[in-house]
Structure 1
């Protein structure tokens, strides 16, 4: 059955990068997965490759109605949602607060913070009614400290907010068997990272004690653990996956 046998999972931002890696690993470990993204072409392609274990939904994570449709699809196709991975995120332009516009800040907030809030709100009724579940919110090392070289005020603040919301909901709904954790990747070799840094790991790798950027599946293994029953007493915590970057 695999480590996620019998579980129904939603993974947002699943059309590339870490989200794709999470969805593929979840399906390989026995979960039935609803992949969501605004990128329908790649999302549908990945879903076809995963076969009957997966279904795709075009999805703006900042839309409450969109979340209602995704949860309804999960229930109709597979059953009640037991795992949510709030993975969708954007960086926004890397520039100072003096140059950052209110519109740019709002764009980042809608995806990174509002989307996580709406996702948790949407799946909690299923989880409470069925004795619990696991929510994994993808934050960033920018949610642990200010990373001035590759961040901005909007990205950093929203990733701190994800960390804080995760702790709050873990504390409020632990009695219902719901576990909530945040994962804080460092420099991961994804299209978003390459676009933000305009490189493929050269200079960024010099900042990492392990000497390289991570592959997306190295984050997915941590997400898998948190989604599985193996982490049954792990909740309200942050899990840093950064090759000791912020430790050093």
Structure 2
């Protein structure tokens, strides 16, 4: 695993802006007790009264089910930005989600890759300066682009690309989950957007058809469309990923 040197700053359009809406939320079953979730799993509050350590939460599905795909997600860090460490990144299910010390939790070991509000990137308990520290007590929008084909993570700050932060993630066999952590009392993170690259032309066509037509009334469509096409069109994303997950598990066995 390696850090990659940051590219020169560039102001570009947000990645995957026209891609598939990846419907995941923060996972109420995979979090520290110091975390509270609101708004159907999109808003996370840390340390409601006071902070006595570092808390974290993972997303409810991995972003590398499709191994060679790109994923992009954005989190708004609300204006209580301060303290030892507020982080956004990726972890495997083996990374812990709480510490009774104030630490950089995402990246404290080999199971996490994270960016802290102090501009440091962390992995395997090693760090380097990646960007300027975030302005304290000022809301900041952080985007995270995972490129499964090249095995890289690139961050965006308030819409501006900061360059590649990590490489070598294509060699990771475990599933990778979006993860956030904080040491700051009463801090809040909001999941703004989550996108997935289209897998192929078929995937893109299904997306366009779903946006153009309603398939809620199955009977009429069943009379018109071939069975396989109809079943593919009504298959929910979660079901598609479940099939993909089971196929990969069977290959491992």
Structure 1-normalised TM-score? 0.26
Bigger proportion of residues as helix:
1
Q: Which has the higher contact order (CA 8 A, sep 6+)?
A: 2
- Compare CA radii of gyration and give the structure with the larger one: 2
Give 1 or 2: higher strand fraction: 2
